Amino acid sequence: MRLIFDYIHAGETPAAFRWYRGLEREILSLEETPNRCPSAPESGNLRHLLYGRKPRVYRVIYRVLEEKKQVHVLHIRHSAQRRFRSPDLK
pLDDT digits (tens, 9 = 90+) for 26-72: 999 999 999 999 999 888 899 999 998 888 789 999 999 988 889 99
Residue 35 neighbours by CB under 8 Å, 6+ apart? 47, 64
pTM above 0.85, yes or no: no
The domains found in the chain, sorted by start residue, are: 2-89 (3.30.2310.20)
**What distance in Å separates the CA atoms of residue 60 and residue 27, rounded to the nearest whole number?**
8
Tens digits of per-residue pLDDT, 3-27? 888 888 888 999 889 989 999 999 9
